[in-house]
Amino acid sequence: MTNTADRSPAAAFVQRPGSTKTLLKGDDGGVVRRTVLPGGLRIVTEAMPGVRSATFGIWVGVGSRDETPALAGATHYLEHLLFKGTAKRDALEISAALDAVGGEMNAFTAKEYTCYYARVLDTDLPLAIDVVSDMVTASLIRAEDVESERGVVLEEIAMNEDDPGDLVHELFAAALLGDMPLGRPVLGTVDSVNALTRPQIAGYYRRRYRPPNMVVTAAGNVDHGKVVRLVKNAFADVPVDADATPTPPRGGVRTVRGGGNIRVLERPTEQAHLILGMPGVSRADDRRFALAVLNAALGGGMSSRLFQEIREKRGLAYSVYSYTSGHADLGMFGVYAGCLPGKVHEVLRIVRGELDKVVADGITEEELRRAIGQLHGSLVLGLEDSGSRMSRIGKSELVHGEHLSVDDQLAIIAAVTGEQVREVARDVLGSRPTLALVGPFPDPDAFAAAVS
């Protein structure tokens, strides 16, 4: 698929309301189009010839980082509540409508956005659009639902607390970012969720769930014009400001606390879970592609350095990998390992050693070639169904503010050089690391050498 339109981040915000623009067009007949409605609502579709499914989604530009401390967990709590009922349907009718046609419906809350989606047969797309749009735009947020769902959210927090593999990631974010919103858990805490009231959540809903801050997406066997007509009808009763324009992708100033922090959560676990990491790059940083290549070579697969050194050669851990995540203003890079408590110091020593080697020498030409191939394959294979395509165009529009074709991305990744990888390794991995650790460890100072 080749790009036939302006990829400027501002392109969506200068498009005339009521107009439709072709963003991407491929030789296989696939087309990505965008319509901007009066009031700022964006509708983006991707036609996928040859499939019989369709996935519909509504993306809202609000996540846990938008919460004040008093509202911690409100975004995720609200996600739950939108399934509880509208004036047209109660909770059972919402779920039964999609179950009756074999569809799937769900939602998720992230740090910078929330998404509600349904995957159905192409013939049932009108139903999916009606049901999902109704629950997102016309939820009642009743007091009794707030109280009944509070227990469900608290159970989800408890489940997360019982999984040290998940908990260590939250611990790392808190250690690296401190008390800034990105460093707090998406779910909130037991205390913050217990303190949330119906007026707080309903007010948050009214302020944040507005058309300029939403992107409607559909991918699969879809017709753009038909989707636009169905969405217009589904949003007919939503109040709009006719002069409003789409909200631009969020920006921000990079603020990350200094390295050397150690956060240990003492738990009587049979396995220790650790993350050693440092600030990465934002999702708008041009270096993100070189960092992705570095990440693939260092800990992205079974042939990666960390997997080979820690698992294959020494048998010190079952699971070991590196990862990178990017937000509007900053990013994170981390190395995770799960190992026996008595092996933690040795694992940390090897991880630090491999990071230092990459900073000093970069990666080999063979590692570069293999990492690029791995990224190419995962990118293409990850876009084989309508759900992944819906997610891709939703994030491109709401989060990135531009639409890169698959071929564009493949070409950018293929153009990454060994020198670019060395430079980003020095910039990112050369900083002092932060350590998060969950396991039977009473003394955080015992791990000072790992972050020195």
For 216, the token pair is 């409607």
Burial per residue of 255-282, b for 16 or more beta-carbon CB atoms within 10 angstroms, e otherwise: ebeebebbbbbebebebbbbbbbbbbbb
- Amino acid identity, position 450: A
3-class state of residue 337 by DSSP = strand
For 238, the token pair is 């939503």
The helix (H) or strand (E) run that includes residue 166 is helix 164-177
Complete edge-to-edge strand list for the sheet that includes strand 272-279: 262-266, 434-439, 272-279, 331-339, 317-326
Active site residue: 46, 67, 79, 397, which one?
79
Place of tokens 């944040």: 208
The helix (H) or strand (E) run that includes residue 319 is strand 317-326
Please, are residues 317 and 310 in contact by the beta-carbon 8 Å criterion? yes
Please, are residues 22 and 31 in contact by the beta-carbon 8 Å criterion? yes
- Amino acid identity, position 307: F
Going from the C-alpha of 10 to that of each of 13, 238, 249, 264, 324, the distances in angstroms are 5, 26, 9, 43, 26
77: phi then psi, degrees, rounded to nearest 5:
-60, -45
Does 79 participate in catalysis according to the annotation? Answer: yes
Which residues are tagged catalytic?
79
